[in-house]
Structure 1
Amino acid sequence: MRAISALWLAMAVSASGVPGDPGETALRFLEKVRSRQLNLEPGGDTALAPQTSEPKRREIARRLSRMADDLGGDPLEVGAVHIDGGLAGVLVRKTDGFDPSHMQVFPIAVVKRGETWAAAPVPASFENTGFGYDEALRQRLAALQDWMLREQVLDLATLRDQSNERMRRNIEKALPAETLRTLDSQQAAGRFASACARRNLPEILALLGGLSATLPEDWPLRLKAAEAAVRAADPRRPWHLLMAENVLRVPVYHEEEDGEALVSIACLDPAGSGPQSATLQVEVIHLALAKTAEGFWRVDPPEDFLWDPGENEAPTDDDLDYDLADAFAGKLAGLDPPVPEPSARQAMEALLHRLQDGEFAAAVRLIHPSVEAGNHPYLRVARLWQFLRAPGAIHRAIPLSFQENGDRATAICQFFSARSPDRFDPRVLNFQKTAEGWLWIIKGGEATEAWARAEIKRLEETWQDRLLADCPVIENLADSGSPGEAEARAVVEAWLVATASGDVPAALRLTARLGMPDSKSAVLRNLGYEMTGSQHHSGPPAITGVHRGGVWTAVGVRSAPDGKAAFPLYPVVQTPAGPRILLEIDLFATKNRSREFLNKTALERLRHLPPATAAGLRELFLKYQAGIAEIPPP
């Protein structure tokens, strides 16, 4: 029987390059199943018979959906193929993973219609393909189905028997044994940390003992833990500390004696840890290493690396080595020295840009190292990073005041939050001039701190004016004329981009406001609503039309917050600075009474303008609302 199987496998290899052969057809079928793009209609991507009932199609679709989950993302390869005239059975293997328990063999029935092969919709079966069932055909179909099920079991057993050899070949491609043998214990630990940061699974496995003639006793645990960490979007700790993109990692300790070694790595994760990432601290990972009989240094990770994610709680080490954590700042400054900026203002701009949009390591290079301050400057910058990068939130640091005095400088920034856009949240950033240039320092001098306290007191009354410096005040629109259609469309398109990206200054530069006492707060609140809502759109908003009348050019938009259609209308007015959105007049086409009340309240804000001007926008809005057929019911 094995000789016959080998003959069928040889047939598969020789036929694999023929377009439209059974093996290629089976692969194409499974790729479409995996991507959930399979057309299951008769005449589609399978040999489904037209007379197949609808309940049966739904049952087949459910089975194929479960198969898509099993297929995962690993590459597929054709195994044995058995062809019997216009019928064929194909074994497709999933073997790319290193864990034998993840290997699978999928049996696929294939039929020939004219010159074209098509996969049967039910794996390992010719069911629902429309064949007539005379006795001779029944026997042929049964024989092929028996072959697929039998060979599936045998082929999977063979694959798993060969898994160690296959694994070793794949590992050696990433890190040859000769190269591994040249690494000392420090280099091996560093290579392991680097492989984790690059999520290079073969290299990680090489350093965990995968190239040893005798694998470690806990190899299944090591393999499972490493593979799960590499596959995870955000692996659990302590893997997270070695794999997450913006974690700073610094080796702080090394000892070696009699074929054993210990390397400790201090890590600072700006995302924090614990509930809601509330804790910011330097965490230390200890990696034990042992010299193997082959002359390799093997990493023997602590138990918390190997903990099964299915358990309720990971083991923890309560003996935090504070001395090693405290060495973080000094070691980091030696390994990655600070890079000053030529001027204090450039240092401020660079720091804010890196905290907002750059890499954490780049932001840290602007920190002035201080033996007295220890880790505190790094933790302070990490806290700023954490606020500005909070998941699901829109936060921005916007400079309000800046003063330079000798070798010291101070910036006061509003830390804007889309959830509390009209709340004053000032933060002070201090800078010091060194021989090479300007760096951020955790604490300013006496004079700069006194200036900052007095300036914050003044800003309590004026910060909104500074934030809205590019948002012109509308006094009278009677002689302004309405913006052109193309201009208004361009302003709203730029607004949608700015709000979706959270660019507060860019968004405010596209707005105008009324001169009412609460206009500044109203503009900021509506900006916050727009930015927060943009995070929940199921697709990009689209302009539906431009409506002009009197001094108004109103732009209608269709958006889908939380998957529900919404129809805002943006009033655009002409100002000395060009066309701007009058943001505090927020209007939505609706059948909802609460929203109708809000629309009415918004339009009443125009009461200080000439009556005809206010009536003009009201008429445009009513026409806009009447022209939308798909307004959701209340």
Structure 2
Amino acid sequence: MRGIVTFFLAASLRVFSGEPSEVALEFLRGFDGKLSKTEISSSLAISPFCGPKKRTRILELWEARASWKQKGNFSFLPLREKVDSDLSAVLIGATSPNGPDVSMVISLGVVKKEGGWRVAPVEGSFENTGLGFEADLKSRVRDLENWMALERTSEMTILLRSEMEKFRKKMEGAVSSEDLAANDAKQAMKEFLNAAEAGKTDAMIVWQGFLERESLPERNWEMNLKATRKGMVNQDKQRVWRLLTSQKVMKVIIPNGKNEREAHAEDLLNFNPESVEREVEFLVGFLSSFEIEGERLNPIRFRLNKTDKGWRVSLPAFFAYADQESRAFRTAKNDESDWKDRELVKKMFQVFEEQNQVVRAKNPEALLKAIVQDLKTQNLDSFLQSHYREEEKAVKEGEKPADGGGDLLQRNINGRRGNPFDDRRAGRYILAVKWWGFSLKFADPVSAKVVKLYRHEKIALGVLSFSGSGENWKPKYKQVWMRQDASGWMILPGIVSPMVGTYPEESFEGFRALSEQFVKDEVKMEEEFFADVLKIVGREDPNGKAASEPQAIALVKEWRRIAREEDMMAFLRVSAVRRLPAKPTSLLRDLGFVRKGAASAMSPDQIIGSKAVGRFRGVSMMIDHGGGVDRACPLVLVVPTKTSHCVLVDVELPLETNKGIRLLNDERLDGLAKEVAKEDLASIEELREWHQKVSRPVWDKWKSEQADKE
């Protein structure tokens, strides 16, 4: 605590010049990084008699204000000022590009001391300034504080109105005026969902009626705006906005999911015809490959209000409270939910089939090609159109559904099932969307390609390969089950095997035989992948020459960038080995860790220097390999290949910061002595010693700086 007192009292006084408003503005604007903690505290007109606890609290509040300013990207402008001799009250407007609702008016007392003005330490008052207790002085202070409180309210109204007008002009181009004015509530709902998938945040805000807020029912606009901005970049605490933004989610508007009061309006004593025209509800079904609070199938009701400028969407609590804590989110969500919707939502699959025609292919090859194209464009609807469908059949009471699809759905709250056909159909779509979501999760969908096709009469099994990224360097294989009927070839829902009931019973043995063949071939496919890897990685050329310093440094920087941003194959193309391994499993694993470290780095790489010995050029570096909390100093060797220069990745000699690393480096050199020529070994040993010499002071300095911070 003594250190804090010294911090305030010993800080060199930094008094701004100029009038009170200018001083207040310069102080607030200094939060962009120009003012240090010492400067912030010394710029305040704080009393020398203010106790250490209060001083600590005051500094914490201003640090919080600095954080608020930076996070919201706030800018400041002077609004009003009242001067009474050596005291002044100032009102400053704070505005942000995040919208008018976060705008605010900051009231500050400003005191003239030692020939200059300084900001009072507590917003809206002159507390802890040490002005004294004279009656006249207390009266002056009280008048200024009352003025700040009263005028701040009126200035806030004016500021919000002004910022709202600016916001309106900015948002006007987000959605075309024709679309906004359309007299079709369902089309407005579609546009809202399309904007979410397309990542159009401004359009989402406009469709919520932010620009017509005066003519809409009362809402928490600030919370809705914050939830929308965070949700559209998938930063909401509850992680439910994924349902709106993800292209891995099936979304269907259920027409007969409107508010029941419209259907039974004649039974309501207080029925107002205008209410039907001015407000409607739609039930939207969301089917995802991931679970939201244990569910993949989520029914959510949206209320739309008619304004003079068109239909606007009221954000459901499910999304509006998505950035709140769990208890508040669940309470708000449950208040809006209707358990009947859990059965009604299964109609979304019937609606989808009514709105989207069946698509069939001429042969399995054409069908697989279409699937790859759908994955590349992330067109889930097109993918689902190629799936198996069946004509609705009557199911007798007590009869078990043929495909068991209902078992994929949880029972409703009463433990009863609805229409068995809806359950079976839902089960098929659940499997199809799971397959879709898992496939897109594996890798960049652009990398999907057909690697195998097995066929037996009217059934087929296709195998897609997805190239991984990060540490997932091995390709992932996904099976596609297909069958032919009179209309053509279709996809059968299923992850490992096709769903029961979607194919004739006599085809079962054929499907099993195809599956067994794939299991056998999968081992060969992995071996073929390793063979391709060995074709890509560079081979050190013993007759080449060392790279120049600019060439080597540029290569190492690019090598690190690729490790951080691109896939394993791209990383291998700028890498080289001394000799090709029989199976590059360990090489790929080690490079996976290099890529993971590069991706998690929070500080830029530092090039310490470079040196050429023989045909090797060593580049000494210090890198962040611990997510910002640790550093390492690797020696990166650049070697010639037949076509260019690459980074040698099977020799590792980092800075020896402890005895264990030194012993490990000794073992590595002992191993190299058995594999490389004497002159090459001597070159590598020389570079090892050079690297220890030049990198050690840099690492020691960083370590010392970390100790000082602690």
Alignment equivalent of 1:146, drawn from 134, 137, 142: 142
Q: Give the residue type in structure 2 aligned to 1:90.
A: V
Q: Per-residue displacement from partner, 1:38-65 (whole Å, max 9, x unpaired)? A: 3465699947699999979866532311
The 1:194/1:165 distance shift into structure 2, 3 A limit, reads farther
Q: Specify the alignment match of 1:6 in structure 2.
A: none
**Would you say the 8 A contact 1:551–1:573 is kept in 2?**
yes
1:516 positional shift:
6.3
Q: Specify the alignment match of 2:651 in structure 1.
A: 585
1:536 aligns with 2:600: yes
Q: Give the residue type in structure 2 aligned to 1:266.
A: G
Q: Specify the alignment match of 2:346 in structure 1.
A: 323
Q: Give the residue type in structure 2 aligned to 1:612.
A: E
Matched residue SS, 1:630? helix
Q: Specify the alignment match of 1:631 in structure 2.
A: 699
1:304 positional shift:
3.9
**Would you say the 8 A contact 1:229–1:236 is kept in 2?**
no
Matched residue SS, 1:416? coil
Task: Flag structure 2 segments of 5+ consecutive residues without an equivalent.
Answer: 1-16, 266-275, 390-427, 484-488, 499-509, 705-710
Q: Specify the alignment match of 1:15 in structure 2.
A: none
**Would you say the 8 A contact 1:558–1:566 is kept in 2?**
yes
Q: Give the residue type in structure 2 aligned to 1:524.
A: L
The 1:134/1:26 distance shift into structure 2, 3 A limit, reads closer
Q: Specify the alignment match of 1:576 in structure 2.
A: 642
Separation (CA, whole Å) in 1 of partners of 2:168 and 2:594: 53
Q: TM-score, normalised by structure 1?
A: 0.70
Separation (CA, whole Å) in 2 of partners of 1:399 and 1:247: 19
Q: Give the residue type in structure 1 aligned to 2:468.
A: F
Q: Specify the alignment match of 1:505 in structure 2.
A: 569
1:541 positional shift:
1.3
Alignment equivalent of 1:286, drawn from 281, 301, 317: 301
Alignment equivalent of 2:280, drawn from 257, 261, 286: 261
Alignment of 1:268-417 (within 5 A): 272-274=290-292, 281=296, 283-289=298-304, 304-305=318-319, 309-312=324-327, 314=330, 315=333, 319=342, 321-327=344-350, 330=353, 354=376, 360-361=378-379, 369-372=386-389, 374=429, 376-388=431-443, 401=451, 412-413=464-465, 415-416=467-468
Q: Give the residue type in structure 1 aligned to 2:291.
A: S
1:498 positional shift:
0.5
Q: Give the residue type in structure 2 aligned to 1:65.
A: E
Q: Per-residue displacement from partner, 1:507-560 (whole Å, max 9, x unpaired)? A: 101122243656722321221011111122122213222221123222222211
1:462 aligns with 2:528: yes
1:614 aligns with 2:681: yes
1:522 aligns with 2:592: no
1:570 positional shift:
1.4
**Would you say the 8 A contact 1:171–1:202 is kept in 2?**
no
Separation (CA, whole Å) in 2 of partners of 1:603 and 1:413: 39
1:571 positional shift:
1.7
Q: Specify the alignment match of 1:80 in structure 2.
A: 80
Matched residue SS, 1:618? helix
**Would you say the 8 A contact 1:252–1:265 is kept in 2?**
yes
1:566 positional shift:
1.2
State the number of aligned residues: 578
**Aligned-pair identity (%):** 19
Q: Give the residue type in structure 2 aligned to 1:384.
A: S
Q: Per-residue displacement from partner, 1:218-277 (whole Å, max 9, x unpaired)? A: x45x5465244135352356961565365656443224645163323333556x3347xx
The 1:237/1:464 distance shift into structure 2, 3 A limit, reads same
Alignment of 1:421-440 (within 5 A): 421=473, 425-427=476-478
The 1:382/1:626 distance shift into structure 2, 3 A limit, reads same
Alignment equivalent of 2:611, drawn from 541, 547, 550: 547
1:306 positional shift:
5.9
Q: Give the residue type in structure 1 aligned to 2:146.
A: R
Separation (CA, whole Å) in 2 of partners of 1:400 and 1:608: 41
Q: Give the residue type in structure 2 aligned to 1:151.
A: W
Moved more, 412-421 or 586-595: 412-421
Matched residue SS, 2:536? coil
1:595 positional shift:
2.8
Separation (CA, whole Å) in 2 of partners of 1:325 and 1:504: 41
**Would you say the 8 A contact 2:228–2:320 is kept in 1?**
no
**Would you say the 8 A contact 1:60–1:122 is kept in 2?**
yes
Separation (CA, whole Å) in 2 of partners of 1:193 and 1:351: 20
Separation (CA, whole Å) in 1 of partners of 2:35 and 2:358: 53
Separation (CA, whole Å) in 2 of partners of 1:336 and 1:92: 62
1:583 positional shift:
0.6
**Would you say the 8 A contact 2:227–2:321 is kept in 1?**
no
Separation (CA, whole Å) in 2 of partners of 1:582 and 1:180: 59
The 1:170/1:85 distance shift into structure 2, 3 A limit, reads same
Q: Give the residue type in structure 2 aligned to 1:38.
A: L
Give the root-mean-square deviation of aligned CA atoms: 5.6
User: Could you say which structure has the higher helix fraction?
Assistant: 2
**Would you say the 8 A contact 2:208–2:312 is kept in 1?**
no
Q: Per-residue displacement from partner, 1:451-506 (whole Å, max 9, x unpaired)? A: 866653422333212123121345xx654443333333332222111101032222
**Would you say the 8 A contact 1:511–1:583 is kept in 2?**
yes
Separation (CA, whole Å) in 1 of partners of 2:591 and 2:482: 31
1:230 aligns with 2:228: yes
Q: Give the residue type in structure 2 aligned to 1:326.
A: F
Moved more, 295-304 or 257-266: 295-304
Q: Per-residue displacement from partner, 1:283-302 (whole Å, max 9, x unpaired)? A: 4322244669x897675665
Task: Flag structure 1 segments of 5+ consecutive residues without an equivalent.
Answer: 1-18, 390-394, 433-437
Separation (CA, whole Å) in 2 of partners of 1:171 and 1:495: 44
The 1:608/1:296 distance shift into structure 2, 3 A limit, reads closer
Separation (CA, whole Å) in 2 of partners of 1:627 and 1:347: 57
**Would you say the 8 A contact 1:199–1:230 is kept in 2?**
yes
Q: Per-residue displacement from partner, 1:369-396 (whole Å, max 9, x unpaired)? A: 335375655442322222337xxxxx99
Alignment of 1:444-459 (within 5 A): 455-459=521-525
Separation (CA, whole Å) in 1 of partners of 2:357 and 2:58: 62
1:566 aligns with 2:632: yes
Matched residue SS, 2:600? coil
Q: TM-score, normalised by structure 2?
A: 0.64
The 1:440/1:579 distance shift into structure 2, 3 A limit, reads farther
Q: Give the residue type in structure 1 aligned to 2:236.
A: P
